Chains A and B, each alone.
Chain A
Amino acid sequence: MTETITFKLNGKSTTITVDGDRKLLWVLRTDLGLTGTKYGCGRYLCGACTVVIDREAVRSCMLPVREVRGKEVTTIEGLAKGDQLHPLQKAFAEHGAVQCGFCTPGMIMNAYALLLRNPKATREQIIAGMEDNLCRCSAHQRIVKAIESVAAR
């Protein structure tokens, strides 16, 4: 059913008129042109579609878009402040935590929420918190190091 949904997207108030059953992932990727958030499995199994909603990491692939009404959604496109990369983005680039880069937006958004909750996360907590984000290029070692380097600050 078509409905009007207002929410905050990457800091800007956004209003869309869509079928509220549609999944946030596809509304972001098609209607809103934010293609940084990726599809990998569609079943909560890979984390490629992770965005942050009200400071929590959420898989957008199965989330009906009406659920974001009145909430604050941050996607990978909204993480940098202008040209100023977020420390996690910098750390991923500098630690070589990026290979093909397809899992990267989901990884960074998941890590972002993790550190919001627990800014001093330990290695064990990082590993546990990132567990359900898959990286087939298998850059895990460097992803953990990148997140650790930000958590240590």
Chain B
Amino acid sequence: MGKTESSIAAKLDRRDFMKFVGGGLVIFFTVESPAEAAQGARPKGFGFGGPGGGAPPDVNAYLRIGEDGKITVFTGKIEQGQGNMTALAQMAADELDVPLESVHMIMGDTDLCPWDMGTFGSMSIRIFGPALRSAAAEARAVLLEMAAEQLKVDKGRLKIEKGVIYSGSDRQSRVTYAQLTKGQKITRKLEQKPAPKPVSQFTLIGQSPVRVDAIEKVTGKARFTGDLRFPGLMYAKVLRPPAHGATLKSADTSEADKYPGATVINQDGLIAVLHEDPEAAEKALDTIKAEFDVPESTLDENNIFEHLVKVAAKPQELERKGDLAAGEKASATLFEAEYLNGYGAHASIETHTAVAKMEGGKLTVWISTQTPFPAQQEIARTLGMQPDKVRVITPYVGGGFGGKSTGLQALEAARLAKITGKPVQVSYNRAEEFFYDSFRPAAIVRIKSGVDANGKMCLWDYHVYYAGSRAAEQFYDVPHNLMRTYGSWMGGGATKAHPFATGAWRAPGANINVFARESQIDIMAARLKVDPLEFRLKNCSDARMRRVLEAAAERFGYKPAVGPSGRGIGIACGIDAESYVAEIAEISVDKGNDIKVRRIVAAQDMGVAVNPTGAIMQMEGCIMMGLGYTLSEDIRFKGGKILTANFDDYSVPKFSNLPEIDAFLVRNDDLPPKGGGEPAIVPVGGAIANALFDAIGVRVFQMPLTPERIARAAKNA
């Protein structure tokens, strides 16, 4: 294979690496994601944590065809419920012409997988997927070359079926992948991209097999981090402050010290009780008498917006077109409004959990995380260890939605395991989960817009605070448009604006951006006495957007009407992760101003759908989850004190909230796969807010659209 072996692969210490991965054929590949590019170069020393080492530092993943012909994909991405384990396996299997069962995914293990920045932004399929397909295509090309040599036929005559290569129609002249890879130690780095199969030749892509993880998950066998058991495992409960920003004054652990079976650790500000029974650990922790200094703060969920605007960072221009003054002059009618949304929790049913175990100077930490490699880095730094002495393994993650990117619990488990030498589990209880969540930040959007005498939009003056730019880009045709962002969802900018941690929440920042834009659009349509769908189409020439809008309207059986029509129908649309989605909601409002969402129709163009049912499942999940931020979810707090502690004061959507959801894909095979885990959540708030107006003529500018807010708005209307 000498002549085709790439120079980089030749430089690898192949012997070590091959010993480590166990022979066969290995294709390394690199995935360049915009998010990664934005974060700059990957940290030194984290190219590859494996004991074999030796993978090129710029590789993100590799695919191995083992000596048994089995295919394994090694990737730092993780499975958190979104189904990427299945969809990625499908992509590799399709390209290699093997059954889905022949592909095994190894995910989120820092010793086995090359560096990856994390699983978020609906990037697994959209950005990682194409690279994986190219790697699989490369493997296929290598195998064909080997087969041609072995069978002594021209490469062009070979056919592959289920991992067996046949020489034309001669069923006797054949060789299996296993026969070809046996005894081989071939490494390749994907350089130029071989063309993967065209859509017309897909066999598995575009199908919807049962998820590869489904059986384990319905039988209780699937192992999440908290399910790992080791001899001598200790459950640790950590002393928590009553509020963010509080400092410990004193702690008396004498009672806990006497608690049977308990080990108390009090080191460098970390006070924890370890016990082999998690309930006992909690009980012993409760006996600790601690005093904290809690900073005074009057901030709460009502006055936070004023504060946020006051301390906001300098604006950054997101988009500029034309000139605002000219737009204002051209406007026959001007509209001004402010939109708000409070803090939101991720509230995964699995709380943040980690288990750490020290063995012969090497620390292994199992974490429920979306970002195993950054976690490895943070643990190594905190504990003062060499990165290759820290291994992070990611078992199944019980829901992330952006919230499992940070993880104090992993640092604590790691520290406690190092201190005690025993395997230690730290798992948040629900109150800790709410307390340490990196909330979706409270955000504000202010819009001034204008329409000319012909009903065409001519002004868009847009200001967004703390939500950033996602899904904010203007796809309506507006000649005079200036969009400015003040801080983003990432930490709120230079000022310490929020009283606690904030971060990414499913489609970060996009939900308020779309709620604001689509509400504003409806306000204009209603004032001009134009049907809201007609108004949108009149002001939008983007073909993909028009297509999803029209498809949703047709499926819904939409009849034009000027709002408020009393019917309770609302439209919203948006672009997220390069997918286009339009939704139409039908609601009713009862006497107590409670919104019941009856039906949501959603049309999505996401390019090629790798697993259509999986994609629709994600859309349904997005819509159902979207009902929460729209109708009920709001974190209550007083300064750094989080008052929301469990699901009784944070109400997530339940079965009785389930509308009839009709989610479908608008086929677009001309485009490679786009994001699917988030787009359909972004229009939910706008569609329901618009439906509320259509139902009772009341406009609510702050989500969640609670009965109190609706009543208040109705009174002021």
Decide: A140 and B658 in contact? CB cutoff 8 A. yes
B202 touches A (CB below 8 Å): no
Shortest beta-carbon distance, A19 to chain B, in Å? 8
B693 close to chain A: CB less than 8 A: no
B222 lies within 8 A of A101 (CB): yes
Interface status of A138 (Cβ within 8 A of chain B): yes
Bound form: Cα–Cα A94–B210 in Å: 6
Closest to B347 in A: A136
Per-position binary interface string of chain B over residues 274-296, scored 1 when its CB falls under 8 Å from any chain A CB and 0 otherwise: 00111100000000000000000
Residue A76 lies at the interface, judged by CB distance under 8 Å to chain B: yes
How does the 8 Å CB contact mask read for B396-414 relative to A, with 1 for contact and 0 for none?
A: 1111010000000000000
**Residue with the greatest number of chain B CB neighbours at <10 A, chosen from A80, A90, A127, A137:** A137
In whole Å, how far is B151's beta carbon from the nearest beta carbon of chain A? 39
A77 CB-CB contact with B under 8 Å? yes
The listed residue (B214, B346, B648) touching A98 by CB distance below 8 A is B214
Q: With a CB–CB cut-off of 8 A, which chain A residues contact B215? A: 85, 93
- B661 in the interface (beta carbon within 8 A): yes
B80 at the interface (CB under 8 A from A): yes
A contact residues, total (Cβ < 8 Å) = 58
What residues of chain B lie closer than 8 Å to A30, measured between beta carbons? 235, 276-278
- Counting CB contacts under 8 A, is B430 at the interface? yes
Report whether A138 and B621 are in contact in the complex, using a CB–CB cutoff of 8 Å.
yes
Q: When each residue 82-94 of chain A gets 1 if its CB lies under 8 Å from chain B and 0 otherwise, what string results?
A: 0001000110111
Instruction: Assess whether A103 is interfacial by the CB under 8 Å rule.
Output: yes
CB nearest neighbor in B for A79: B219
Distance (whole angstroms) from the CB of B450 to the closest CB of chain A: 38
B197 contacts partner chain A, Cβ-Cβ < 8 Å: no
Q: Does B656 contact A102, Cβ atoms closer than 8 Å? A: no
Residue of A76, A126, A141 with most chain B CB atoms under a 10 A cut-off: A141
A127 to B211, CA, bound (A): 25
A100: interface (CB < 8 Å)? yes
B-facing residues in A84-123 (Cβ within 8 Å): 85, 89-90, 92-94, 96, 98-105, 108
- Asked if residues B655 and A48 are in contact (CB atoms below 8 Å), the reply is no
Chain B residues in 8 Å Cβ range of A100? 80-81, 348-350, 396-399
- Measured between C-beta atoms, what is the minimum distance from B42 to chain A in Å? 28
- A39 to B614 Cα, complex, angstroms: 27
A89 CA to B386 CA in the complex, in Å? 44
Query: A55: CB under 8 A from chain B?
Result: no
Given A96-B614, A99-B621, A137-B81, A77:B219 Cβ within 8 A: yes
Q: In the complex, what residue of chain B is closest to A40 when comparing beta carbons?
A: B349
A136 touches B348 (CB 8 A): yes
Please tell me if A130 contacts chain B, counting CB pairs below 8 Å: yes
Which residues on B sit within 8 Å (CB–CB) of A136? 346-349, 399, 401, 625, 652
Does A6 interact with chain B (Cβ within 8 Å)? no
Contact of B229 with A by CB under 8 A: yes
A99 vs B620: C-alpha distance in the bound complex, in angstroms? 11
B613 near A96 with CB under 8 A, answer yes
* Cα(A89)–Cα(B648), bound, Å: 29
Q: How far is the CA of A103 from the CA of B350 in the complex (A)?
A: 8
Cβ distance A86 to chain B, nearest Cβ, rounded Å: 9
CB distance from A72 to the nearest CB of B (A): 18
Contacting residues of chain B (468-524) with chain A, CB-CB under 8 angstroms: none
Report B-chain residues with C-beta under 8 Å of the C-beta of A37.
Answer: 220
At the interface, yes or no: A63 with Cβ under 8 Å from chain B? no
**Measured between alpha carbons, how far is A128 from B478 in the docked complex, in Å?**
48
Residue of A whose beta carbon sits closest to that of B224: A102
User: Shortest CB–CB separation between residue B479 and chain A, in angstroms?
Assistant: 40
Q: Which of B168-225 contact A (CB under 8 A)?
A: 208, 210-211, 213-224
Establish whether residues A43 and B655, one from each chain, have CB atoms under 8 Å apart when the complex forms.
Answer: no
A8 located at the interface, meaning its Cβ lies under 8 Å from any Cβ of chain B in the complex? no
B351 an interface residue at 8 Å Cβ cutoff? yes
Tell me if B617 is interfacial: C-beta within 8 Å of chain A.
Answer: yes
Does B26 sit at the interface, judged by CB under 8 A? no
State the CA gap A35–B215 with chains docked (Å): 16
Residues on B with C-beta less than 8 A from A139 are 617, 620-621, 624
* CB <8 Å contact, B220 and A105: yes
* A132 touches B (CB below 8 Å): yes
Q: Does A142 contact B (CB under 8 A)?
A: yes
B226 within 8 A of A: yes
A93: chain B residues within 8 A (beta carbon)? 210-211, 214-215, 217-218
Q: How far is the CB of A33 from the nearest CB of chain B, in Å?
A: 6
Q: Which residue of B lies closest to A22 (CB)?
A: B279
Which residues of A are found within 8 Å of B647, using beta-carbon distances?
41, 43, 45-46, 134
Contact A36 B348 (CB under 8 A): no
Complex-state Cα separation, A55 to B427, whole angstroms: 31
A131 touches B220 (CB 8 A): no
A146 — nearest CB in chain B belongs to which residue? B218
> How distant is the Cα of A39 from the Cα of B217 in the complex, in angstroms?
15
The answer to whether A26 and B646 touch (CB under 8 A), given A38-B350, A77-B219, is no
A75 close to B (CB within 8 Å): yes
Give residues of chain B (389-443) contacting chain A, Cβ–Cβ below 8 Å: 396-399, 401, 427, 429-430
Q: B218 and A134: CB pair below 8 A?
A: no
Query: CA–CA, A37 to B277, complex, Å?
Result: 16
Distance of A65 Cα from B396 Cα, bound (Å): 28
* Nearest neighbor of A77 in chain B, beta-carbon distance: B220
Contact in complex: A42, B614 (CB < 8 Å): no
Q: Mark A6-41, 1 if CB is under 8 A from B, else 0.
A: 000000000000000011001001100111111111
Q: How far is the CB of B292 from chain A (nearest CB, A)?
A: 24
- Residues of chain B lying within 8 A (CB to CB) of residue A85: 215, 218-219
CA separation between A108 and B215, bound complex, in Å? Answer: 13
Taken together as a complex, chains A and B put the C-alpha atoms of A43 and B646 apart, in Å, by 8
Interface residues of B (CB under 8 A from A): 80-83, 208, 210-211, 213-224, 226-227, 229, 235, 276-279, 346-351, 396-399, 401, 427, 429-430, 613-614, 617, 620-625, 646-648, 652-656, 658, 661
List the interface of chain A (C-beta within 8 A of B): 22-23, 26, 29-30, 33-43, 45-46, 48, 75-77, 79-80, 85, 89-90, 92-94, 96, 98-105, 108, 126-128, 130-144
The 3 closest A-B pairs by CB, nearest first: A36-B220, A100-B81, A102-B398
Inter-chain pairs besides A101-B216, A137-B399, 11 sampled, C-beta below 8 Å: A22-B279, A33-B229, A38-B226, A92-B218, A96-B211, A99-B617, A131-B656, A133-B655, A135-B349, A138-B623, A143-B655
* 23 sample A-B contacts, Cβ–Cβ < 8 Å, listed by A number: A33-B229, A36-B220, A38-B226, A38-B398, A45-B430, A45-B648, A77-B220, A89-B218, A96-B614, A99-B617, A100-B398, A101-B81, A102-B224, A102-B348, A126-B655, A128-B655, A128-B656, A134-B647, A138-B620, A138-B625, A139-B617, A141-B658, A144-B655
